[in-house]
Structure 1
Amino acid sequence: GQWIAYNADEALSAAYGRRDTLRVVRADGTGDRELAADRSLGDGPAYGFFGAVWLPDSSGVVAMRATESTEQECPHYEIVLVTLADGAVRQLVADFPDWSESPVVSPDGQSVYFTSDRLGRRPVWRVDLASGEVTRLTGEGHYSEVCVAADGSAVYALRDSIAHPAQPVRLDPVAVEQDPVPLPAPGVIDSLPGTLTEVETTVSDGRTVRAWLALPAGASADSPAPLTLWIHGGPMMSNNGWSWRWNPWLLVARGYAVLMPDPALSTGYGRDMIQAGWGAWGAAPFTDLMAITDVTVERPDIDEGRTAAMGGSFGGYMANWVATQTDRFDAIVTHASLWNLEAFTGVTDASYYWMREMTDPLRSTERILANSPHLRVADISTPMLVIHGDKDYRVPIGEGIRLYFDLVRHGVPSKFLYYPTENHWILTPGNSKVWYETVLAFLAEHVLGEKWERPALI
């Protein structure tokens, strides 16, 4: 309790932006000093540090080290040990293929627990600090909020999945591949309106692309279900946990199958999966999505003749890109989406990060022009529902307004659901209900062939 570790977000240059550093200060406010920092701007990797957790004896901290992205290389996140006495940095999990995140130190200081996306799951892992041995503690599920009992006898966490919201669980601190029984808690879901399975395929460069597929009850060869392709945001994330904002079971309850793939740029499949789409959003991410859709519509319980694609943020970008590349879908829903990549630069609240991947358009426009869907609007014929919040600072409202205007002036059947008070996410319960009802009405019109029925709430 004598020291405090904290992050300092330091400006490196006007052209580059900011980077996280670690500092420590005594509890009485004296002795403030730098613990871990990297100010390099030249060749070679550059690192940011954040998320420090003290060892019990205060000899050092366990922290996150981020390898910052460049135009050529995707970022990487790993757990390191930083010694208080001299600031020496030691990697804790050597050659771990995925991003290790959210470290928690055991009370005896002998091990660190962390989580990491892996093949559509998010397990809890344990690394022994002395030997470096890594143990996977959990099998199925998406885990978060890991904490260790004061005596080290148990590990507690929240576990959710595509099929169930978060529930607290208790884990043995060393056992392998556990399937813990949930602890008593509210919010248990007794049944779902369908079933969950997995789909995968191998794409041209040898990568395996996999997805969750939620199927409505009764879907069969005699009664195949219409399909909605749900494209996740991020883009560096995974379809591996429960979501209230984008909940597939609400569509499943209306008879739709929902395909939730992890294309190029997704986490949990090693660096190569992210690198495959780095700076080329319109290339491998798109072909991966089409490949996993192809194998899914071959199933006898899926109706290939009734399909839609949906996505938000990066997923909205991909929905827009899909619209410019194919007319295979009957409808497309695009939420909080990027449209004009050049205009997006400098107005998003993540502009420096964005330019490290997509480049500064004042210096080079090649990458932005190759990936910007707005230049291909004349190729769109699929009906589109555009959704955007006015208080969105990650993808500002101008992207949605320009997208809708471009669709209208090119004669594309389209609608615009505008939220004057919402941001990148639709958070107000009433507005969320409007979101779902509008999406379902749009799909009913264009996928099911029903008459457009304006939702009562709007």
Structure 2
Amino acid sequence: MTQDTTADTPQTPFDDLDDYIALGRLGGLALSADGRRLVTTVQTLDPDGTGYVSALWEVDPAGERPARRLTRSTQGEAAAVFTAGGDLLFTSARPDPETKDGDEKKAALWSLPAAGGEARVVATAPGGVGGVLAARDADVVSVSAAVLPSAEGLEADGELREARRDAKVNAIWHTGYPVRHWDHDLGPDAPRRYAFTLGDVAEGERAELRQLTGPGRQLEEHDAALSPDGRTLVTTWAVADPGAARRTTLVAVDTVSGERRTLVDDPDAEVGGPAVSPDGRWVAYVTSTITSPTDPPVVRLGLVALDGTGEPEVLADDWDRWPTSAAWLPDTSGLVLTADEDGRGPVFLLTFDGVPGQGPVTVERVTADDAVLTDVRVAPDGSALYALRTSYAAPAEPVRVDLAAFVASGAPGDREPVAAVVLPSPVPAPALPGHLTEVETTAADGSRVRAWLALPEGASSADPAPLLLWIHGGPLGSWNAWSWRWNPWLMVARGYAVLLPDPALSTGYGQEFVARGWGAWGDAPYTDLMAITDATEAREDVDATRTAAMGGSFGGYMANWVAGHTDRFRAIVTHASLWALDGFGPTTDHAYYWAREMTPEMRDAHSPHRFVKGITTPVLVIHGDKDYRVPIGEGLRLWRELLADSGLPAADDGSTVHRFLYFPDENHWILTPQHAKVWYQGVLAFLAEHVLEVPAGEGDTVLPTTLG
């Protein structure tokens, strides 16, 4: 399969980093209960070019009218949700014109009336509100709010926060684990859930939030859903496990009394992504088994009765894919699922042969697109699906899938997938400087290994393109969706071919493909990467003499492993990478997960730092100080050992071909626009010097010229 994405003109937004970071970015999708309104969020560059601000846009579900902007403020708006009556709820920290100071610092809940008019604040909390849910058939809304542990209510929470602020105290007292997550410290506050009836909030007044859950860390990073009648909140609920570990269960909470009952508590699995059926009888959820050094996770769809009767069950246990989300059909006859598959992320339809929870089910692929579909929303009459579609050919764009036509095309299991139809988007897809194709090969053990390959226009046997091998993170993941942080088209615009492979441990190829690399990161994942690189280098339009390898997170681990095991590449770029696994394991933000994954013997055998003397390739190390998933100590130790112990050490005068790009204020990702520019400029300069043999200082500069 080849997707020709040639631009009409040579100039594209990827030729200039300022044009690139200014591109609008879609995220999230909300569908009104009557199916007539579809809303998404668009991020755009702020006037100073130093951050992004979001706004809500309405998209025509019929695809006849252009998208129109609904909100506008310097603080931005997000988390759009429709109420049963058609009002649009969203969160924003923008000033409230009905308050005296007009200087709200924390996100409040706003309501934009369906009948038109100005948005108004309907709920606030001292620590801000989030996690907005609205019942489909009732006027009930639930939000989450972070509250200090000793506060009995929101008023007391506000007083405590003011006292801490005035005393300049930011210390956090912990009695459990974890204490950090990705890029932020946990505590001292923790989320609690609240509910209220929107119709009870008079004009100019704020909702009296009814507390449903108390203090504790059970709702950190929780997933939740409201029953259609608004009477029950279904949410994940974290519980402690031995060894300072945590595991998620599933509970139901009465939205009036706050009474809680457990729906799913499996000591061998974690759960997430609950979805309550339209008839209010069932909860579908994603269940993932707890891993061990010998057993990777098994991810399946679960089903449990909302009233707590009967035992939870696993649906479609013989379907060799990992569901990532689930949404019910309006008549409760089945569910729409998403899952990675063969470098894509299609929509699937699971139908019950009878009543849910009884009898067999059928799973079949609905969409034919070479893309990933997310944020799937089902039309109220079941005729269509709405989603955001993304791939390496285009960033996220709203689409419509004709589900009725698919269902009418034949019997379950015999139907052909259908293509999604693009709806008028607030952000048109940018022209690309090349085209996308696929490559594949067979590994030594007979396994099929495939990849996307982004090629510049004009690459040919007469003018082959230098090759960049990009290794994805995870490691449980796939190069199947557009990435603003690792975007190959910026490299393609400068003449590179970019290889995006899915080696062992990648999702979308079945359980056995993951198991091939489990607990042995340096084995099949590495040999798969080398095999697909060999196959790509055999192409006439690729220059096998000018190559580099890059990766971040697990991809950075693998870049380090590659550096210590081969000298075939001219340069290595390793971002937020694991280096010494003995040090990484106990210091990462969720060390208990790592303890489940590898034995000490596996860890030692597959730690890249043991092979530092084999590194004879120039390496660019990149790390953010606020990275809690892969702590900065990994980057610091890697940098020092490269200069002191590698096969390409620093000279006696301290000079070195290696480089360290350090971000004191960034985390696992480099998110701010100007830092993203620095990241790409630094990487391009390093590659230009070593892959293209451009004299140092004559390629892309490490800093924008306006900054020094």
Q: Normalising by structure 2, report the TM-score.
A: 0.62
Determine if contact 1:92/1:129 at 8 Å carries over to the other structure. no
Which of 490, 493, 518 is 1:278 aligned to?
Answer: 518
Question: In the alignment, which residue of structure 2 is the partner of 1:111?
Answer: 334
Whole-angstrom CA distance in 1 between matches of 2:372 and 2:281: 32
Please tell me the residue identity of whatever aligns with 1:28: V
> What CA distance in whole angstroms lies between the structure 2 residues aligned with 1:339 and 1:12?
28
Relative to structure 1, the CA distance from residue 386 to residue 87 in structure 2 (aligned partners, 3 Å threshold; closer, same or farther) is farther
CA contact (8 A) 1:3 1:58 kept: no
Q: Which amino acid aligns with 2:491?
A: L
The residue matched to 2:560 in structure 1 has which SS? Answer: helix
Q: Is 1:81 aligned with 2:303?
A: yes
Query: Match of 1:305?
Result: 545
How far off its partner does 1:195 sit?
1.1
1:424 equivalent in structure 2 = 668
SS at match of 2:671: coil
Shift of 1:127: 0.5
Q: 1:190 to 1:401 in 2, by over 3 A?
A: closer
2:590 paired residue among 338, 350, 357: 350
| Higher alpha-carbon deviation: 345-354 or 276-285 | 345-354
1:49 aligns with 2:277: no
Q: Does 1:244 align with 2:484?
A: yes
Question: Matches of 1:251 and 1:287 in 2, distance apart?
Answer: 25
- Matched residue, 1:5: 234
Distance 2:555 2:702 in 1: 24
Question: 2:628 is paired with a residue of what secondary structure?
Answer: coil
What's the offset of the Cα at 1:87? 4.5
How far off is 1:109 after superposition? 1.1
Aligned length: 446
Gap change, CA 1:405 and 1:105, over 3 Å in 2: same
CA distance in 2 between partners of 1:294 and 1:278 (Å) = 23
Runs ≥4 residues deviating over 4 A? none
Query: What 5-or-longer segments of structure 2 have no aligned partner?
Result: 1-228, 354-359, 407-415, 651-656
- What CA distance in whole angstroms lies between the structure 1 residues aligned with 2:383 and 2:683? 47
Tell me the CA shift for residue 90 of structure 1.
Answer: 2.1
Question: Which structure 1 residue ranges, 5 or more long, are not aligned?
Answer: 40-45, 360-364
Q: In the TM superposition, what are the counterparts of 1:54-69 in structure 2 within 5 Å?
A: 54-69=276-291
CA–CA distance in structure 2, aligned partners of residues 191 and 4 of structure 1: 44
Match of 1:43 in 2: none
Q: Which structure 2 residues correspond to residues 147-166 of structure 1 after superposition, within 5 A? A: 147-166=377-396
The one-letter amino acid of 2:316's match is V
Structure 2: how far apart are the matches of 1:216 and 1:235? Answer: 28
Are 1:256 and 2:256 matched, yes or no?
no
> How much has 1:30 moved relative to structure 2?
4.2
Aligned residue in 2 for 1:362: none
Structure 2 match to 1:387 = 622
**Structure 2 matches for 1:127-138, cutoff 5 A?**
127-130=350-353, 131-138=360-367
Equivalent in the alignment of 2:373: 143
The offset of 1:451, in angstroms, is 1.1
- Judge conservation of contact 2:300–2:317 (CA < 8 Å) in 1: no
RMSD: 1.2
What is residue 638 of structure 2 aligned with on the other side? 403
Please say if residues 576 and 635 of structure 2, whose CA atoms lie closer than 8 Å, have aligned partners that are also in contact: yes
Match of 1:450 among 691, 694, 697: 694
Cα shift at 1:187: 2.4
**1:343-382 deviation per Cα after TM superposition (whole angstroms, max 9, x unaligned):** 00111012111111113xxxxx311110001111011000
Give a deviation string over 1:75-133, Cα, whole Å, max 9, x none.
Answer: 02111110133242122223111101211112211110110000000000110123511
What is the alpha-carbon distance in structure 2 between the residues aligned to residue 398 and residue 275 of structure 1? 29
| Percent identity over paired residues | 53
- Which of 653, 669, 677 is equivalent to 1:433? 677
Per-residue Cα deviation, 1:15-43 (whole angstroms, up to 9, x for no partner): 1611110111212124311111023xxxx
Instruction: Find 1:322's aligned residue among 548, 558, 562.
Output: 562
- The AA in structure 1 aligned to 2:234 is A
Tell me the alpha carbon deviations over residues 276-310 of structure 1, each in whole angstroms, 9 at most, x when there is no partner: 00010001000000000001001111101000000
Determine which structure has more spread, i.e. the larger CA radius of gyration: 2
TM-score (norm 1): 0.95
Give, in whole Å, the separation in 2 of the partners of 1:124 and 1:420. 40
Question: After the TM superposition, which residues 95-106 of structure 1 pair with which residues of structure 2 at under 5 Å, given as runs?
Answer: 95-106=318-329
Kept in 1, the 8 Å contact 2:682–2:703? The answer is: no
Higher mean alpha-carbon deviation, 224-233 vs 61-70, is at 61-70
Deviation, structure 1 residue 270: 0.3
What secondary structure sits across from 1:346 in the alignment?
Answer: helix
Secondary structure (helix, strand or coil) at the match of 1:382 reads: coil
Alignment-mate amino acid for residue 508 of structure 2: G
Partners of 2:616 and 2:251 lie apart in 1 by 54
